[in-house]
Amino acid sequence: MKLHIRNMVCPRCIAAVEQFLKKEGIQYTSVMLGEVVTASGISEDRLKFIDSGLKKLGFELITNRQQQNIESIKNIVISKVHHEEAALQQQKLNWSDIIAESLNQDYKGLSRLFSSVEGITIEQYIIKQKIEKVKELLLYDQLTLSEIAWKLGYSSVAHLSGQFQKVTGMSPSAFKKQSQPHRSFIDQV
pLDDT at 180 exceeding the cut of 80: no
The pLDDT of residue 156: 92
- CATH number for 2-63 (one of 3.90.25, 3.40.50, 3.30.70, 3.10.620): it is 3.30.70
176-182 contacts at long range (C-beta below 8 A, 24 or more positions apart):
176/138, 176/139, 176/141, 181/135, 181/138, 181/139
Average pLDDT value for residue range 118-126: 96
The pLDDT of residue 153: 87
The CATH fold assigned to 77-188 is: Arc Repressor Mutant, subunit A (1.10.10)
For 4-57, the pLDDT digits (tens) are: 999 888 889 999 999 999 999 999 999 998 899 998 999 999 999 999 999 999
pLDDT at 188 exceeding the cut of 80: no
Q: Phi and psi dihedrals of 35, rounded to 5?
A: -155, 135
Mean pLDDT of the chain: 90
Cα–Cα distance for residue pair 176/173, rounded to 1 Å: 5
Strand partners, 188: none
pTM for this entry: 0.80
pLDDT at 189 exceeding the cut of 80: no
For 97-113, the pLDDT digits (tens) are: 999 999 999 999 999 99
In the chain, where are the structural domains located? 2-63, 77-188
